[in-house]
Amino acid sequence: MKGYSAETSGGIFCMIDPSKVKDFVREHKDRFGQDVWVVGEVVKSQTPHAPKAMIRSDVEVINVRDSFLHL
């Protein structure tokens, strides 16, 4: 929680068109039995030429113990 990057641990972090998110989440659950979480969004910076990543103050940490990768 003291880091400065928006990484995931042991998962797949990808960007997808917002219009395709529902189908992606449903298909992943149907094919692999695993939940998918939307963890953020890309927005245009209010300050030109000063891009950065930030973690919101209302972040929820979810501990995921089971995975289809560890049978």
Rounded Cα gap, residues 41 and 65, in angstroms: 25
How far is 55 from 3, CA to CA, in rounded Å?
9
* pLDDT for res 24: 92
- Tell me, yes or no, if the pTM score tops 0.85: no
What are the residue boundaries of the structural domains of the chain, listed by start? 1-61
**Residue 64, pLDDT score:** 62
pLDDT of 1: 55
Tens-digit pLDDT string for the chain (71 aa): 565 555 555 667 788 999 999 999 999 899 988 888 888 888 777 777 766 777 777 877 766 665 555 54
Is the separation of the CB atoms in 7 and 13 below 8 Å?
A: yes
